[in-house]
Chains A and B, each alone.
Chain A
């Protein structure tokens, strides 16, 4: 029973990771401008997440490690995007001054659209994975104590 639940957990996150990967990939592709740095970053993130999901789906023994790689790739990408957005806002605030409620509204909208995929989801996943790793380690530690 516990085995089944554990596998469901892995499969859930392996498939769940594909959603933000899809969002990142489609958003990156839809950008009207092609910058090598941005394209490479999107490609590496998407490949890492999709690749790690593939490993988690088909290699049960490496599933947790692979999921962690996927979550860290998403989180890293999210932190970079949020940093780029924050620095852009800082630049615009510096040059244009306080641009009022409209600007705040758009920034909040951008945050609401990006934070769930690129920050909240990978953080939740990393926390969940940490607990799962801990559960895996605990029985082996007990077994190691036996004569």
Chain B
């Protein structure tokens, strides 16, 4: 083929392709910024169940006002558009989670699934099988078809064949689209609510309600000791800040539960374990929680368990500073494997223990561990400690800064935060409230847990960066990104969230959900978010006190 022929082919190809793409965009496009209602869907909800619904074009405020026991919610349809196909792969991306609903016409009958309905059945943002793997879809079609089919008297299969689907762009009345700015008052409220959520989650026996689904009220049977310990750390921290006895009582119960049920012999030492194999993280975070409770004066009797756990951690450290992350209780020997998080957790816990008890050996161990974490080998691709999961490294770096400032560790954390900022979600047209979220791809919903742990690290990095007096412009960028993400987190904290969808809204108040459309709350979500918010609040208050003193 001659160059002229190739050029002609390229021109025709580009012209056809661009035209097709433009046609698809124009045909499918809707205006998520629209505000004028075309019609309004008014629903009343009671106990998390929809009890009535009307669709009106006018006077939505007056509709369903006689339902006294219920909460009335108005969802305005502000734009609509076509849905090309019901084929799973394409339908799975036909809606924007949390913003779009579906309307179907079937043999003269019409049914609507609003964002609230879809949230209630947990059909947004779902992992679905795709061949040999799973892919995260914006919407799962089966439960939505089932819901719509129930209203028009059709099976999902009948709807798929005969239904005419439309996408509805919905704006919930009274719900702000963008988060309000970060203030000390908002931070304080968010911290207290997160603490209240966790305090409520601790049962009389000291065990947490591990994971709850706000919209179904179901609870997960899973449990995890590192997360139990991490949540107890935050509760103790929040109790020390707020002086709230409900928080401290709950933290004490959770700590006692650890001592009574999980602090067992691991060879010559004691560690936190369930079963024959112990992991380092459980003991490290338990030590951290104990130190927090001990330092705050809530449990002076924790000194012995703290020493026991610190001895265990020290015994698990290799000469090069790395830790062995598992311990075989039957064979009575450490297993030299490494997992994410644990070395950072051990470093932080040992440094905090050292500060609380003046134990020099622990400080040295913490320092060496941090040094190891931030010094990758030459063949660093595949190095097990990398940005994505190393928020504990930045906590440890900040904890160690006063006595052993590690500039490499600070650079590691600053670089990580730069990448976090660069990859943060911004200007997603359909969801301006996601600005600043730091986890989740361009299309999938942002994870609050991931954003929270990155912000924990960001707050610690900010603290150390200010003390290191680095370039003020870098500090400004770090803090701006941090505030944006904290605003995102607080916006989606269940305070109260869509309480009309919840069977027990009071139980869920203050929790941080998995994503804005997956309202499962696991205990580590309020822990990570709460720690980030509380530590930033303390920095602001310290700065204010310092400013006044000057």
**Interface residues of A, Cβ cutoff 8 Å to B:** 31-34, 68, 72, 79, 82-83, 86-87, 89-106, 123, 126-127, 130
Complex interface: chain A residues within 8 A of B2 (CB)? 130
Q: How many residues of B contact A (CB 8 A)?
A: 39
Complex interface: chain B residues within 8 A of A104 (CB)? 442
Contact A102 B441 (CB under 8 A): yes
The yes or no answer to B430 lying at the interface (CB within 8 A) is: yes
Contact A33 B131 (CB under 8 A): yes
Contact of A123 among B6, B84, B430 (CB under 8 A): B6
| Least CB separation from A31: chain B residue | B131
Q: Is the interface of A mostly helix, strand, loop or mixed?
A: helix
Contact B1 A68 (CB under 8 A): yes
Complex interface: chain A residues within 8 A of B429 (CB)? 97-99
Do A94 and B29 contact each other (CB < 8 Å), given the known contacts A86-B21, A130-B3? yes
Among B430-444, those with CB < 8 Å from A are 430, 441-443
| Least CB separation from A134: chain B residue | B2
Among B1-43, those with CB < 8 Å from A are 1-3, 6, 13, 17, 20-22, 24-30, 32
In the complex the two chains form, what is the Cα distance from A33 to B134 in whole Å?
10
Contact A95 B20 (CB under 8 A): no
**Shortest distance between the CB of B515 and any CB in chain A (Å):** 15
| Least CB separation from B441: chain A residue | A102
Contact B425 A94 (CB under 8 A): no
The yes or no answer to B428 lying at the interface (CB within 8 A) is: yes
Contact A87 B24 (CB under 8 A): yes
In the complex the two chains form, what is the Cα distance from A105 to B425 in whole Å?
12
Interface pairs (8), CB distance under 8 Å: A86-B17, A93-B25, A96-B430, A97-B32, A97-B429, A102-B442, A103-B443, A126-B1
Contact A95 B94 (CB under 8 A): yes
Complex interface: chain A residues within 8 A of B20 (CB)? 87, 90
In the complex the two chains form, what is the Cα distance from A17 to B57 in whole Å?
63
In the complex the two chains form, what is the Cα distance from A11 to B93 in whole Å?
46
The yes or no answer to B541 lying at the interface (CB within 8 A) is: no
In the complex the two chains form, what is the Cα distance from A10 to B84 in whole Å?
47
Identify the 10 closest CB pairs spanning chains A and B, nearest first.
A94-B28, A103-B442, A33-B131, A97-B429, A102-B442, A90-B21, A32-B133, A32-B131, A98-B429, A90-B24
**Shortest distance between the CB of B140 and any CB in chain A (Å):** 15
Complex interface: chain B residues within 8 A of A93 (CB)? 25, 29
Complex interface: chain B residues within 8 A of A94 (CB)? 24-29
| Least CB separation from A119: chain B residue | B10
Contact B21 A89 (CB under 8 A): yes
Contact of A90 among B6, B25, B96 (CB under 8 A): B25
Q: Interface digits, B167-208 against A, CB 8 Å rule (1 contact, 0 not)?
A: 100000000000000000000000000000000000000000
**Interface residues of B, Cβ cutoff 8 Å to A:** 1-3, 6, 13, 17, 20-22, 24-30, 32, 84, 90, 93-96, 130-133, 138, 167, 423, 425-430, 441-443
In the complex the two chains form, what is the Cα distance from A83 to B12 in whole Å?
13
In the complex the two chains form, what is the Cα distance from A99 to B442 in whole Å?
6
Q: Kindly name the residue among B24, B133, B138 whose own CB sees the greatest number of chain A CB atoms within 10 A.
A: B24
Complex interface: chain A residues within 8 A of B441 (CB)? 102, 106
Contact of B3 among A33, A91, A95, A127 (CB under 8 A): A127
Contact A100 B426 (CB under 8 A): yes
Complex interface: chain B residues within 8 A of A95 (CB)? 28, 93-96, 167
Contact A79 B13 (CB under 8 A): yes
Contact of A100 among B3, B30, B425 (CB under 8 A): B425
Contact B24 A91 (CB under 8 A): yes
Complex interface: chain B residues within 8 A of A31 (CB)? 131
In the complex the two chains form, what is the Cα distance from A82 to B21 in whole Å?
12
Do A106 and B442 contact each other (CB < 8 Å), given the known contacts A89-B21, A95-B95, A98-B428? yes
Do A34 and B442 contact each other (CB < 8 Å), given the known contacts A91-B28, A101-B427? no
In the complex the two chains form, what is the Cα distance from A127 to B3 in whole Å?
6
In the complex the two chains form, what is the Cα distance from A101 to B27 in whole Å?
23
| Least CB separation from B134: chain A residue | A32
**Shortest distance between the CB of B32 and any CB in chain A (Å):** 6
In the complex the two chains form, what is the Cα distance from A72 to B59 in whole Å?
64
Complex interface: chain B residues within 8 A of A32 (CB)? 130-133
| Least CB separation from A94: chain B residue | B28
Complex interface: chain B residues within 8 A of A83 (CB)? 13, 17
Contact of A102 among B22, B84, B425 (CB under 8 A): B425
In the complex the two chains form, what is the Cα distance from A118 to B423 in whole Å?
28
Complex interface: chain A residues within 8 A of B30 (CB)? 97
Complex interface: chain B residues within 8 A of A130 (CB)? 1-3
| Least CB separation from A129: chain B residue | B1
Complex interface: chain B residues within 8 A of A72 (CB)? 1
Complex interface: chain B residues within 8 A of A123 (CB)? 6
Do A96 and B25 contact each other (CB < 8 Å), given the known contacts A72-B1, A102-B425, A130-B3? no
Complex interface: chain A residues within 8 A of B133 (CB)? 32
Contact A96 B443 (CB under 8 A): yes
**Shortest distance between the CB of B92 and any CB in chain A (Å):** 10
Q: Kindly name the residue among A82, A93, A96 whose own CB sees the greatest number of chain B CB atoms within 10 A.
A: A96
Complex interface: chain B residues within 8 A of A68 (CB)? 1
**Shortest distance between the CB of B431 and any CB in chain A (Å):** 8
Contact B1 A92 (CB under 8 A): no
Contact of B93 among A86, A87, A91 (CB under 8 A): A91
In the complex the two chains form, what is the Cα distance from A31 to B94 in whole Å?
23
Contact B93 A96 (CB under 8 A): yes
Q: Kindly name the residue among A89, A97, A106 whose own CB sees the greatest number of chain B CB atoms within 10 A.
A: A97
Contact B96 A96 (CB under 8 A): yes
Contact of A92 among B13, B17, B27, B443 (CB under 8 A): B443
In the complex the two chains form, what is the Cα distance from A87 to B132 in whole Å?
25
In the complex the two chains form, what is the Cα distance from A1 to B480 in whole Å?
66
**Shortest distance between the CB of A74 and any CB in chain B (Å):** 13
Q: A100-B427, A104-B442 are in contact. List 14 more A-B contacts (CB 8 A).
A: A32-B132, A32-B133, A33-B132, A83-B17, A92-B443, A93-B25, A95-B95, A97-B430, A98-B428, A99-B429, A101-B427, A102-B423, A123-B6, A126-B1
Complex interface: chain B residues within 8 A of A100 (CB)? 425-428, 442
Complex interface: chain A residues within 8 A of B21 (CB)? 86-87, 89-90
